[in-house]
Structure 1
Amino acid sequence: MATSTTGQPPPPEEKSQHTGSVDAVERTGAAKPRSGTAALARRVHFLAGLAVAPFLVIMCLTGLANAFTPQIVNTVHGQELFADTGTGSPRPASDQVAAAAAAHPEGIVKAVIPPPEPDRTTRVVLSVPGLPDIDEFSEEDLTVYVNPYTDHVQGELTTVKDRPPAQVWLRNAHGNLHLGPPGRLYSEFATSWVPLIVLGGLVLWLGRRRSRGLLTSSRRSTSEHARLRGLHGWLGLCLSLGLSALAVTGFSQSNFVGDRVDQLLTTLDSGEPSLESEKVAAPPGAARIDIDRVLETAGADGLRGELTITAPSEPGEVFTVEETGEGWPVQSDSIAVHPYTGQVTERLAFDDYPLLAKLNVLGVRAHDGTLFGIPNQIVVSLVALGTLVLIVLAYRMWWSRRPRGASWPPAPPPIWRAHPKTALLALVTAAAILVWVLPVVGITLIGFLVTDMVINAVKRRRRPRT
């Protein structure tokens, strides 16, 4: 007797075939995106992410170490940084400077940094010839560490902008892998591409959410690729803001993009200001004031925290005193002190900074993990660790798309021929603009476009005609 199959589930054979086709689509990525924008975002997100991920792993690992620089430096250089005797009243700062100068009579005093805390030593920065080259981008100095209670010289280190060797090493490892100027390209390549990769991922995530509803969950699937894609998408969404913020705040410290940022701030008259005191004439018979008088003037003017006193290098130049602590609240006020009368000749407060200059200072300190202390370090570490997990998921998801019996997973299908010539022209124009704004991104994007088109043209020529 014949029975109708309308409304009944398909036979087991048909159901098995249908499920297999769905899993194959999810595994191989054969399903085409619904729009040209999604197709472009998918291809750029995949290929750029595949190329940038190894460099981003290095950035995350070195960034983790760099975020905890204060703790590492205190451990490695504790003998120099911490006073071995912290009882009694501190000696005059001028006596401590004299002790450092006596230890190195060939040196010239450049700066003095009194201890910001009672258990710290006084740092006297000297210009001494013949120092070892530990940084290719800045001049080295010799910093002598003096016990403020005994005037005893506890140690000395070759420093760069008052950064001890451990801090210089960590900074260069993160910024250029100790390869000098060529090494800076690796970090700029990774950080410049991160915002574009994040943008491509958001386009894909929003496209999938829009097709299923922003508040609805993804359909369940037994495909490993689908599960990894869902986890990768949600984790990427959570990290997108922090990852992009770290990349953007690192721009000002990069090579090419850093120059563009400086040019932009200068054009907008929003660069970081500095004291511009002119030379002063010495009154007849007057002697130059000492460091103690300069400190007294700075305290009376309201400067607090860690202070860096820069000594005059020529007759008539003024003393400058600057708040150089990196924590919150931000203290970056500075004054110029007359070298003979001890009067303040110029003052520059952080409140006087243009808005963009303030944001740049805050961004750099947040990037380094020094703006909010331990909480800032924890946030940076979580973003770095989360990014490492995100990259592992991405590679695993890519490998799960490998067809049975294939050696390598396929890349998303090329989309250039499917786009109108006007869209491709707009893309090439955008790449040309990026050559100036983000030179490393622009050049690599143009190289990617040319290489991708050539490879696809060769494949089409080799494809047998039917």
Structure 2
Amino acid sequence: MSLTELSDESASESLPGPVPASSPRRAAPLAALLLRLHFYAGVLIAPFLVVAALTGLAYTVTPQLDQLLYGDQLTVASVGNQPRSLADQVTAARNAHPTGDLVSVAPGTGDQTTRVVFALEELGEKQHTVHVDPYTGEVRGQLTTWFGSTPATTWLDDLHRNLHLGDLGRHYSEIAASWLWVLALGGIILWWRRRNNGRGRARHLLVPDLSAAKGVRRTRSWHATTGVWLAVGLLFLAATGLTWSRFAGANFGAGLDALDARRPVLSTTLDGAPSAGGGEHQHGGGSASAAADPATFDRVLAVARDAGLSGPVEISPGGPGTAWAVAQTDNTWPVRLDQVAVAPATNAVTARNDFADWSLLAKLSALGVQAHMGLLFGVVNQILLAALALGLLCVIVWGYRMWWQRRPTRADRRAPVGTPPARGGLRGLPWWVVLLGVPVIVAVGWALPWFGIPLLGFLVADVVVGVFARRGAGRRGDPAPTSAG
């Protein structure tokens, strides 16, 4: 369960077993600490998750949006029997766009147009793509793209990743991804304890308890059971999202380097030396070649087909003394991501990089990226992502609703929202739990800085608040409240 499993009775989380009627129920120390962390993390992190869910929901419809906005450029008016040569198509694209370096050509298949991509210095990492009807050689349109993405998809991608704020905006998505898995796992543990301590039935882990009275208990039931159903998907989104993040993503990349588990880089040098570049999250592109001979594209494509590269591919011309790269670009399951390097002078395959030979981590990383983007399973993938986003928004709303439902309503104790779970869980933990847990938390906080920094801030703030609360209680003569945690 992913969002605030807000306590309606923070001191009533008890260990399984009967409790004497005269004894107040108290939470086990670990459960009390987890409940308090889940509460505050949910309240404070939920706004970041709302933004991520809304922008991610918008991104799920980009294939349909692209077809609506750019259908004339992306698809042909009618599918012919025999496509024109790539030389004719590249020449038509060059005539329509005479400036820039030709960096790649993706031959059109079926009703898809051929994409001829040019690099221009003024576009930076973006590129200029000319779309050509492969059956008539007619230029259908031109778009400014980002690694193959249309302007609309690029805009929504930036919105989801960084809110169009550059590196500063990337912090929001990293915070959301860094805490989503904590909230999901913590919520599942809390809900499992509640359903298995004599106050509920185990089947209500997955089914809302509609027999519960209206109010916080029924809201919690919907919040928790929906969170359980979403948990696997939310954990997946958190893990794959972190691989793209600014700081955790860099640590993830360093881990892949240490394990030698990155995606292999295709060598395009004719002496067999490795080529620079490549990476798990590269969407396309290649070496720029301003004077690539259009006729060479047909010969290189024929060699690549003979080498077993079927389906949609992308051809990247090499510079002087280097091979041309041909890469499969079929990102739907089962994926086709093999690559070959072809020497244009001899029509020989000089190197190849097959998906089957990648390390397990490299394969999982590549597949996870495509699934996160809604591409791996086509429309089904889009529907699942949309359902996760909508479900997460519902869980968040129910979490905040519980917070409001638990507000004191007595005339002498009115408050706008419910009170947080009580402190004291940290002090009650066994020494061995602290001894084992602290190094783990420190390690996770180092690997995920936007988990570690907010957690440290919470602990410091909670300790300070606890100190002032005890001092205030001492001046009033009240019993001192328990310490932070």
Fold equivalence (TM over 0.5) = yes
Tell me the residue number matched to 1:295: 301
Whole-Å separation in 2 of the counterparts to 1:342 and 1:449 = 64
Shift of 1:435: 2.9
DSSP-derived class of the 2:232 partner: helix
Pick from 111, 128, 132 the counterpart of residue 120 of structure 2: 128
Shift of 1:82: 1.5
**What amino acid does structure 2 have at the position aligned with 1:128?**
L
Pick from 447, 450, 455 the counterpart of residue 460 of structure 2: 450
Shift of 1:397: 0.9
Deviations 1:377-416 (A, max 9, x none): 1111111111111111111111110011223321111125
Deviations 1:206-235 (A, max 9, x none): 211221265366796535111112222211
Larger mean CA deviation between 395-404 and 222-231 belongs to 222-231
Does 1:164 pair with 2:150?
yes
Larger mean CA deviation between 409-418 and 168-177 belongs to 409-418
**Structure 2: stretches of 5+ with no match in the other structure:** 1-6, 15-26, 273-292, 479-485
Whole-Å separation in 2 of the counterparts to 1:274 and 1:243 = 31
Whole-Å separation in 2 of the counterparts to 1:111 and 1:39 = 58
Tell me the residue number matched to 2:419: 410
Does 1:356 pair with 2:347?
no
Pick from 27, 31, 52 the counterpart of residue 59 of structure 1: 52
User: Could you tell me whether the CA contact under 8 Å between 2:332 and 2:377 is conserved in 1?
Assistant: yes
Does 1:334 pair with 2:325?
no
**Structure 1: stretches of 5+ with no match in the other structure:** 1-25, 134-138, 282-286
Larger mean CA deviation between 320-329 and 429-438 belongs to 429-438
Tell me the residue number matched to 2:131: 145
Whole-Å separation in 1 of the counterparts to 2:86 and 2:297 = 6
Tell me the residue number matched to 2:477: 465
**What amino acid does structure 2 have at the position aligned with 1:364?**
V
User: Could you tell me whether the CA contact under 8 Å between 1:289 and 1:340 is conserved in 2?
Assistant: no
Does 1:253 pair with 2:266?
no
Shift of 1:277: 3.1
Pick from 12, 19, 24 the counterpart of residue 31 of structure 1: 12
Shift of 1:68: 2.1
DSSP-derived class of the 1:143 partner: strand
User: Could you tell me whether the CA contact under 8 Å between 1:145 and 1:153 is conserved in 2?
Assistant: yes
Does 1:68 pair with 2:49?
no
Tell me the residue number matched to 1:106: 99
Shift of 1:240: 1.1
Whole-Å separation in 1 of the counterparts to 2:389 and 2:45 = 15
**What amino acid does structure 2 have at the position aligned with 1:91?**
R
Whole-Å separation in 2 of the counterparts to 1:339 and 1:280 = 14
Shift of 1:269: 1.4
Tell me the residue number matched to 1:198: 184
Deviations 1:333-389 (A, max 9, x none): 000001201111111111001011111111111111111111111111111111111
**What amino acid does structure 2 have at the position aligned with 1:437?**
A
TM-score using structure 2 length: 0.83
User: Could you tell me whether the CA contact under 8 Å between 2:29 and 2:425 is conserved in 1?
Assistant: no
**What amino acid does structure 2 have at the position aligned with 1:187?**
S
User: Could you tell me whether the CA contact under 8 Å between 2:261 and 2:362 is conserved in 1?
Assistant: yes
Shift of 1:430: 3.9
**What amino acid does structure 1 have at the position aligned with 2:477?**
R
Tell me the residue number matched to 2:166: 180
Larger mean CA deviation between 229-238 and 178-187 belongs to 229-238
Tell me the residue number matched to 2:19: none
User: Could you tell me whether the CA contact under 8 Å between 2:118 and 2:129 is conserved in 1?
Assistant: yes
User: Could you tell me whether the CA contact under 8 Å between 2:161 and 2:169 is conserved in 1?
Assistant: yes
Shift of 1:271: 0.9
Superposed CA RMSD:
2.4
DSSP-derived class of the 1:182 partner: helix
Does 1:396 pair with 2:387?
no
Structure number with greater Rg is 1
**What amino acid does structure 1 have at the position aligned with 2:258?**
T
Deviations 1:161-218 (A, max 9, x none): 1212111111111111111111110001001101111121122112112212653667
Q: Identical aligned pairs, as a percentage? A: 41
Tell me the residue number matched to 2:289: none
Kindly tell me: are residues 66 and 216 of structure 1, through their superposed partners in 2, closer, same or farther at Cα, counting changes over 3 Å? Answer: closer
User: Could you tell me whether the CA contact under 8 Å between 1:428 and 1:446 is conserved in 2?
Assistant: no
DSSP-derived class of the 2:122 partner: coil
Whole-Å separation in 2 of the counterparts to 1:97 and 1:216 = 62
Kindly tell me: are residues 222 and 421 of structure 1, through their superposed partners in 2, closer, same or farther at Cα, counting changes over 3 Å? Answer: closer
Larger mean CA deviation between 452-461 and 418-427 belongs to 418-427
Does 1:267 pair with 2:268?
no
**What amino acid does structure 1 have at the position aligned with 2:406?**
R
Shift of 1:288: 9.7
TM-score using structure 1 length: 0.86
User: Could you tell me whether the CA contact under 8 Å between 1:113 and 1:122 is conserved in 2?
Assistant: yes
Whole-Å separation in 2 of the counterparts to 1:338 and 1:74 = 36
Whole-Å separation in 2 of the counterparts to 1:367 and 1:276 = 28
**What amino acid does structure 1 have at the position aligned with 2:105?**
V
Does 1:435 pair with 2:454?
no
